[in-house]
Amino acid sequence: MALSISASTWPAPLRRGPSSAHHAQQRRSGPPRPRGHLSCTAPFVPEVSEALETLYSEFRAVDNMVAHNSARVLKAFKNARVGPHHFGGCTGYGHDDGGGRDALDCAFAEIVGAESAIVRSQFFSGTHAITCALFALLRPGNELLAVAGAPYDTLEEVIGIRHSSNTGSLKDFGVTYREVPLAADGGLDWDTLANAVRPQTRCALIQRSCGYSWRRSLSIMEIQKAMQNMNCMVMVDNCYGEFVETSEPPIVGADLIAGSFIKNPGGTIAPCGGYVAGKREWVEAAAARLSAPGLGIDCGSTPGHVMRALFQGLFLSPQMVGEAMKGGMLIAQVMKSKGYKVQPLPLDPHHDTVQAVELGSRERLIAFCEAVQRSSPIASFVKPTAGHTPGYASEVIFADGTFIDGSTSELSCDGPLREPYAVFCQGGTHWTQWALVLGEVLKETRDCASCRPSPGVTPCSGDLPRRPPPSPAPPLPPRAASAAHAELRLSWVAAAASAPPSPGNPSADVPRAPAPLPAGRRRPSAPPPPPRPAAAAQPEPELKSCAASSQRRRHFGPPRGNSPDLLQPASAVPELPGRRRGRSNLWNPSPISCGLGLLRRRRRRFQPPPEVSTVFLTSLSPDSGPRARRRAAGGRPEQGCSGQARNRA
């Protein structure tokens, strides 16, 4: 028997939110206020806060590009039918990896618009992947033409420009090299490129990023324009350029591209690896260079956790690249406002994730990197030092407190110690990382006493605005302040009473606590006070102390000054309404307990009105109070007050 329930008979859920009248009132009163936990102040230095005001529109443009690239990556993952079984990995020869290697290659090839691609953990750097691509394209007698000036430092020994001593460089295999210098504005020299290709020129190398050169990075449109004048194969060094624009070099006709997975496409997740993508023929030749001729691309083991990280990093890479671009814009805006040269300018188009800042001196460069290292999540306690690094001609200093060793998709910076002493910043999982680091960088470069100014660089002049002093605590209400001051005053009197009397001790006349008496013995009556001098014929006003009875503090601190609330004449303190005179409902302290500041109440039969702060008036005079009068008359002490309690007082 089927059971059907009509929609009208199903009980409607109870409405527990605000009523419609509340929403109408809220609409009339304007937009709702931000919640308390969301309206906090940004922890940035003033220079960073001012720079952010000018970059919000640029940040929105970057977000639009990230959305476009994320959709492209998601479509490629869906078309490759990526599933959990692709994360299994393999061991040994790596012949059977569950299809993960093929799925990753297909997804990456579709993302960059290439016929084929290989993404392998065995590529341990971008230089390694580029080298495999160059050896796949070039043969003895061919010429390699660099169309964007000198290549990156680590490629100089690969080509044979520097230290070519029969180590297997391209020069050792009979490949010649030639380069086209950059134009005066730092861009490509189009007039020279028109006639640069010769019959023996086999491959043109285009370095998309600036590297360690002070020049603009190349856009996809510039790469496409450069390829129109070349009757040869084109290989693009794509490091730091992935997902910076909405298209990649293979889409506009590049034969091969190569890069590293611990840079942009790794999304700060991939622990290692690199890629080569482009025409299928040349991709297979690069794979043979990576392994060996005849082994093909279906070999090489990859652990499961590495395979999963490669997939996940590739999926997250558009977002991470966008954050790195925002961080670069922020660096450019802040450092430009301090008088430094930057490349590119903050509002110019960015075609890679590298932001260069010309610091002008060795000391500033080292100080900049030290500040970045101190602000890194990993190895913040390490002080970076410059030194010779394999593959680099000059001393290089690195600041990379990253989770993945050498991962420049995370926050890092580096630079060669040579003119013009520029630092190259890249990476960052969020732009706020660089916003926080810049505060430390500005402080470090400002405090660098040995910084020497260089041409075109404004010296470090002027201190950063000091942080405002902490705002004072809000003043207490008058009655609460009087109570607190009175308690502090009484504690000061107690401390003075415990000090030994001396001619220079102003507290020698303060009543002192008597020594404990044996059980059963009575204390003799107090002697009458000495007569007052003639000059003081008029009696001094009695000192009154105010204390709140609802919450008496047990801890007394030192007095905070001569406040008028501390000492008041008895006539100046008004009597509270609702209080009855009498021993049963008033504090009845002895002079000794007044001197020590330990007031004891015998009974609590009467409570004052809640809207009135309770104020108790107690005398500090040694000859006042009912107990003193009884002692002077030789009477017995009050019943109900034991000797132990009196001794404690």
Residue 487 in this model has a pLDDT that exceeds 70: no
Confidence of residue 531 (pLDDT cuts 50, 70, 90): low
Residue 11 in this model has a pLDDT that exceeds 60: no
Using only C-alpha atoms, the chain has a radius of gyration, in whole angstroms, of 41
The pLDDT score that the predictor gives to residue 163 is 76
* Residue found by looking up tokens 């090839």 in the block: 109
Whole-angstrom distance, CA of residue 295 vs CA of residue 290: 10
Q: What is the DSSP letter of 544?
A: B
Three-class secondary structure of residue 31 per DSSP: coil
Whole-angstrom distance, CA of residue 563 vs CA of residue 160: 83
Question: Between the CA of residue 246 and those of 61, 73, 113, 318, what are the distances in Å?
Answer: 12, 11, 11, 10
Higher pLDDT, 631 or 247: 247
Confidence of residue 144 (pLDDT cuts 50, 70, 90): very high
CA-nearest of 191, 101, 175, 103 to 138 is 175
Whole-angstrom distance, CA of residue 187 vs CA of residue 216: 6
Q: What is the mean pLDDT of the chain?
A: 77
Torsion of CA 298, 316, 266, 204, to 10 degrees: 90
Mean pLDDT of all residues in 535-545: 48
Confidence of residue 298 (pLDDT cuts 50, 70, 90): confident
Q: What is the DSSP letter of 551?
A: S
CB of 478 closer than 8 Å to CB of 565: yes
The pLDDT score that the predictor gives to residue 507 is 44
Mean pLDDT of all residues in 45-65: 95
Across-strand partners of 204? 145, 234
Mean pLDDT of all residues in 265-288: 96
Higher pLDDT, 399 or 31: 399
CB of 361 closer than 8 Å to CB of 451: yes
Mean pLDDT of all residues in 468-472: 52
Residue 8 in this model has a pLDDT that exceeds 50: no
Topology of domain 97-317, CATH: Aspartate Aminotransferase; domain 2 (3.40.640)
Residue 565 in this model has a pLDDT that exceeds 90: no
The pLDDT score that the predictor gives to residue 524 is 56
Confidence of residue 404 (pLDDT cuts 50, 70, 90): very high
The pLDDT score that the predictor gives to residue 94 is 87
Mean pLDDT of all residues in 69-96: 94
Q: Where do the domains of the chain lie?
A: 97-317, 478-493+542-649
Please name the residues in contact with 590: beta carbons below 8 A apart, sequence gap of 6 or more: 625, 627, 628, 646, 649
The pLDDT score that the predictor gives to residue 631 is 60
Rounded to 5 degrees, φ, ψ at 234 are: -125, 125
**pLDDT tens digits for 328-366?**
999 999 999 999 999 999 999 999 999 999 999 999 999
**pLDDT tens digits for 434-455?**
999 999 999 888 766 445 444 4
The pLDDT score that the predictor gives to residue 37 is 54
Residue 198 in this model has a pLDDT that exceeds 90: yes
β-pairing, 233-237 vs 256-260, is parallel
Residue 562 in this model has a pLDDT that exceeds 80: no
Residue 164 in this model has a pLDDT that exceeds 80: no
The pLDDT score that the predictor gives to residue 448 is 64
β-pairing, 387-388 vs 354-358, is unpaired
Mean pLDDT of all residues in 123-145: 96
Higher pLDDT, 531 or 232: 232
CB of 157 closer than 8 Å to CB of 164: yes
Confidence of residue 520 (pLDDT cuts 50, 70, 90): low
The pLDDT score that the predictor gives to residue 472 is 55
Q: Which of 7-21, 509-523, 542-556, 565-579 has the highest mean pLDDT?
A: 509-523
Residue 409 in this model has a pLDDT that exceeds 50: yes
Residue 498 in this model has a pLDDT that exceeds 70: no
Higher pLDDT, 425 or 493: 425
The pLDDT score that the predictor gives to residue 612 is 44
Whole-angstrom distance, CA of residue 59 vs CA of residue 65: 10
User: Rounded to two decimals, what is the model's pTM?
Assistant: 0.66
Confidence of residue 617 (pLDDT cuts 50, 70, 90): very low
Question: Between the CA of residue 443 and those of 440, 449, 462, what are the distances in Å?
Answer: 5, 12, 11
Confidence of residue 98 (pLDDT cuts 50, 70, 90): confident
* Residue found by looking up tokens 């020994």 in the block: 157
Please name the residues in contact with 125: beta carbons below 8 A apart, sequence gap of 6 or more: 154, 260, 262, 274, 406
Higher pLDDT, 381 or 566: 381
Whole-angstrom distance, CA of residue 104 vs CA of residue 478: 73
Across-strand partners of 134? none
Q: Taking CA 215 as the corner, what is the angle to CA 214 and CA 218, rounded to the nearest 5 degrees?
A: 145
CB of 555 closer than 8 Å to CB of 488: no
Across-strand partners of 416? 396
Residue 175 in this model has a pLDDT that exceeds 90: yes
CB of 589 closer than 8 Å to CB of 600: yes
The pLDDT score that the predictor gives to residue 356 is 97
